[in-house]
Chains A and B, each alone.
Chain A
Amino acid sequence: MIELYVLLGLMIAGAIIAIEVKNLLSAVVAVGIVGLGLSIIFILLKAPDVALTQIVVEIAALILLIRATIHRDIAEKSCGSRPFGAIMGILFLGLAVIAAFVTFNGGLNPFGEPLMTVSRFYPLDAVSGTGATNVVASVILDYRAYDTLGEATVLFTAVIGVLTVMRRLGKKKEEDLQDSK
Chain B
Amino acid sequence: MSKEQEHGMTVIVKTVTRLTVGLIFLYGIYIILHGHLTPGGGFAGGVIIALSFINLDLAFGGSVSSKIFSKGSTGLVEALGAVMFLALALIGLQYGGFFVNFLHPDGEPGQLLSAGIIPLENIAISLKVGAGLFGIFLTLIVLQKFESEKK
Find the A residue at minimum CB distance from B35: A137
- With the chains together, A63 CA to B135 CA distance in Å? 14
> Are the C-beta atoms of A155 and B129 separated by less than 8 Å?
yes
Find the B residue at minimum CB distance from A127: B109
> Are the C-beta atoms of A132 and B78 separated by less than 8 Å?
no
- Distance (Å) between the CB of A94 and the closest chain B CB? 36
State which residues 95-151 of B face A: CB under 8 Å.
98-99, 101, 104, 107-110, 114-118, 121-122, 125, 128-129, 132-133, 135-137, 139-144, 146-147, 150
- With the chains together, A49 CA to B45 CA distance in Å? 11
Residues in A neighbouring B132, C-beta threshold 8 A: 155-156, 158-159
Q: How many chain-B residues does the 8 Å CB contact rule pick out?
A: 55
The answer, yes or no, to whether B59 is at the interface (CB within 8 Å) is no
Instruction: Name the residue in B58, B99, B142, B147 with the highest tally of chain A Cβ atoms < 10 Å from its Cβ.
Output: B99
Instruction: Name the residue in B43, B75, B133, B135 with the highest tally of chain A Cβ atoms < 10 Å from its Cβ.
Output: B43
The answer, yes or no, to whether B40 is at the interface (CB within 8 Å) is yes
- With the chains together, A177 CA to B63 CA distance in Å? 29
Known: A133-B36, A142-B101, A168-B146. A60 touches B115 (CB 8 A): no
> Are the C-beta atoms of A134 and B37 separated by less than 8 Å?
yes
- With the chains together, A132 CA to B107 CA distance in Å? 10
Q: How many chain-A residues does the 8 Å CB contact rule pick out?
A: 44
Known: A137-B35, A156-B132. A72 touches B147 (CB 8 A): yes
State which residues 151-181 of A face B: CB under 8 Å.
152, 155-156, 158-159, 162-163, 166-168, 171, 175
Instruction: Name the residue in A136, A140, A145 with the highest tally of chain B Cβ atoms < 10 Å from its Cβ.
Output: A145
The answer, yes or no, to whether B47 is at the interface (CB within 8 Å) is yes
The answer, yes or no, to whether B44 is at the interface (CB within 8 Å) is yes
Known: A130-B101, A132-B115, A149-B89. A141 touches B109 (CB 8 A): no
The one of B39, B114, B125, B136 in contact with A132, judged by C-beta atoms closer than 8 angstroms, is B114
- With the chains together, A15 CA to B80 CA distance in Å? 38
> Are the C-beta atoms of B121 and A145 separated by less than 8 Å?
yes
- With the chains together, A149 CA to B125 CA distance in Å? 9
- With the chains together, A156 CA to B85 CA distance in Å? 12
- With the chains together, A60 CA to B146 CA distance in Å? 22
Residues in B neighbouring A137, C-beta threshold 8 A: 35-36, 41, 115, 118, 122
- With the chains together, A30 CA to B85 CA distance in Å? 37
